[in-house]
Amino acid sequence: MKITETKLKSCLILEPQIFEDNRGVFFEVFKIKELSDFLGYKVDFVQENKSISKKGVLRGLHFQKGESAQAKLVSAQNGSVVDVIVDIRPDSLTFGEHIKVHLSDINNKSIFIPKGMAHGFLALTDQVVFNYLCDDYYNPKEESGILYNDPALAIDWNYPLSELIVSEKDLLLPTFKKLMQ
């Protein structure tokens, strides 16, 4: 497994070594020991989530607050997405910055998202099966998010905005500035 750091501290891209032969393909998605050794602390995933989305669905930008903050390992099990992570850690050198990573069932990359990050993705193919491993349980009282098209974040989703499918709940999320007040 190849682990690559991004400009957002502790936000990592994991790329498996893929073994292919006449039977098909095999790869290890991640090894908890390698991930924990790289981070310098142990990660314990306690919940697995899966979402299925059609093309144009944008989910996010979501996170859990306070003691319910979650680190996540995310991947596209089927299909292709543009994945966006925003650093919302006030003491971070990259506070308010974001990265975009293409995840698909072709490149088989995963992203480790540490606590203190908002996360969202846009489905680029007809059907996307997206997988999340979380290190804490979902707490609806601590869920929050940031508006996906906040001008201050200037996220270019590289997709016609008129064709996006966004939940009513996500359309009502606050801007980054309002959230951080």
Task: Look at domain 2-179 and name its CATH class.
Answer: mainly beta
Q: What is the pLDDT averaged over residues 27-46? A: 92
- List the catalytic residue out of 98, 119, 132, 148: 132
66: helix, coil or strand?
A: helix
Structure tokens at 25: 């393909």
User: Helices marked H in 26-166 — which ranges?
Assistant: 32-39
Task: Say if residues 111 and 74 touch (Cβ distance below 8 Å).
Answer: yes
Report phi then psi at 63, rounded to 5: -165, 165
115-124: pLDDT as tens digits: 999 999 999 9
Question: Can 132 be counted among the known catalytic residues?
Answer: yes
Question: For residue 171, what pLDDT is reported?
Answer: 97
pLDDT value at residue 181: 80
For the residues 19-26, what does the mean pLDDT come to?
91
Residue 41 known to be catalytic? no
**How large is the average pLDDT for residues 49-70?**
97
In the chain, what are the domain boundaries? 2-179
DSSP code at position 79: S
What pTM, to 2 d.p., does this model score?
A: 0.94
pLDDT value at 28 more than 90: no
Does 50 have pLDDT greater than 90? yes
Single out the catalytic residue among 41, 62, 138, 159: 62
What's the pLDDT score for residue 29?
87
- Pairing relation of β-strands 57-64 and 47-54? unpaired
